[in-house]
């Protein structure tokens, strides 16, 4: 019997699982059966895969890690559910399910903590602890899809906007995109996937060459480099001009519109002069600006602008030809809105039960 190092079954592409099975002396077609049990039937143990031999099930359980995530707790709002996952090393990460009409969107985390340390965001307050594996990213979507199936629903959109900087975990994020896009898994269209970044210019250009069709979002939050470095310390790594050039390259290569997210902080970056400068910065670009009124984070002395300020800011942008949206806040009552995800402990949350 060949001895294999412990690996993550949800970190395998379909082809990789077939290769692994062949090396183990099994038939490749078993990969289709295993994928069907996991991604279609929602079975979370090899023991439950009844059309596999007992010997194969034992070998799978001994060699492959599954599941990787344990659901510590879930917190519910009217249109939002926040899931707290415990990882095999005891670290914790959060992901969010957002309901909007018939759309079911999952906000995925790519890291435990975050290296960007944005001034308004809870996720990076302790810095980066570690990156997630492809399997840990995939399982967030898998378990929430299983949760939805009990209600006759399914995950249809994915946004890599949870904890972490996705392009600082490039290989794992890219692999998770390919796995979740596969027709044998959740089969989510790449056009319904969105990757958000604070701006890592080389990786943006690299992503543009991958022949994917995912949407790309830049967390901009300021109209110039000097101001941006104060709000996003990570921004010191790459000049804004270089990042915007990379974003233009992505739009040109993929034929996808790009989005610039701008979190409005009262009396900091929400004034008339900021809107005018932002409009000038983005003039002529193939893009949309998504305005996000700041979502309060405990311990941060920042304020959310009032509705009149947001409307005035939006009006200035639109009057200068910048297509603008205004994100409706969901889940702020359970700290699940943009910028509020953190390394929460289960205390005070409603237990939903474990996935293992």
CB 124 within 8 A of CB 118: yes
DSSP string, 269-331: T-SHHHHHHHHHHHTT-SEEEEEEEPPP-TT----PPPHHHHHHHHHHHHHTT--EEEPPP-S
94 is known as an active-site residue: yes
CB 310 within 8 A of CB 134: no
Give the residue carrying structure tokens 């304020």.
303
Give the residue carrying structure tokens 């490039």.
170
Q: Considering the candidates 114, 118, 121, 338, report the single residue annotated as catalytic.
A: 338
CB 108 within 8 A of CB 118: no
121 is known as an active-site residue: no
Q: Considering the candidates 26, 94, 139, 203, report the single residue annotated as catalytic.
A: 94
CB 37 within 8 A of CB 64: no
Phi, psi of 92 (to 5 degrees): -125, 150
Sequence-ordered alpha helix ranges (H) in 115-257: 134-149, 170-181, 201-208, 225-231, 240-254
CA 119/CA 217 separation, integer angstroms = 19
Residues labelled catalytic: 94, 338
């Amino acid at each position: 019997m060949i001895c294999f190092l412990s690996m993550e079954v949800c970190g395998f592409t379909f082809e990789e699982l077939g290769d692994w099975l062949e090396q183990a002396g099994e038939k490749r077609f078993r990969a289709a059966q295993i994928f069907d049990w996991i991604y279609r039937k929602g079975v979370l143990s090899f023991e439950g895969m009844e059309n596999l031999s007992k010997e194969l099930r034992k070998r799978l359980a001994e060699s492959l890690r599954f599941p990787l995530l344990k659901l510590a707790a879930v917190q519910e709002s009217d249109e939002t559910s926040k899931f707290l996952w415990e990882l095999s090393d005891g670290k914790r990460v959060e992901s969010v399910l957002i309901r909007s009409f018939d759309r079911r969107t999952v906000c995925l985390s790519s890291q435990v903590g975050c290296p960007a340390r944005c001034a308004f965001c809870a996720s990076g307050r302790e810095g980066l602890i570690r990156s997630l594996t492809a399997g840990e990213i995939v399982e967030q979507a898998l378990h929430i899809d299983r949760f939805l199936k009990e209600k006759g629903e399914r995950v249809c959109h994915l946004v890599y906007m949870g904890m972490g900087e996705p392009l600082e975990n490039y290989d794992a994020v890219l692999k998770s995109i390919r796995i979740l896009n596969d027709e044998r898994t959740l089969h989510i269209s790449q056009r319904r996937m969105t990757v958000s970044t604070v701006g890592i210019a080389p990786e943006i250009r690299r992503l543009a060459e991958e022949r994917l069709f995912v949407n790309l979002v830049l967390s901009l939050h300021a109209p110039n480099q000097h101001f941006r470095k104060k709000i996003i310390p990570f921004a010191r790594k790459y000049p804004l001009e270089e990042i915007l050039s990379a974003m233009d390259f992505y739009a040109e290569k993929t034929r996808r519109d790009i989005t610039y997210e701008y979190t409005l902080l009262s009396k900091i970056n929400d004034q008339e002069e900021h809107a005018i400068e932002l409009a000038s910065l983005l003039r002529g670009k193939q893009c949309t600006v998504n305005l996000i009124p700041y979502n309060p984070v405990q311990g941060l002395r920042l304020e959310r602008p009032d509705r009149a300020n947001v409307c005035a800011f939006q009006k200035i942008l639109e009057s200068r030809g910048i297509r603008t949206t205004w994100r409706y806040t969901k889940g702020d009552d359970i700290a699940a809105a943009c910028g509020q995800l953190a390394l929460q402990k289960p205390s005070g949350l409603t237990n939903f039960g474990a996935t293992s």
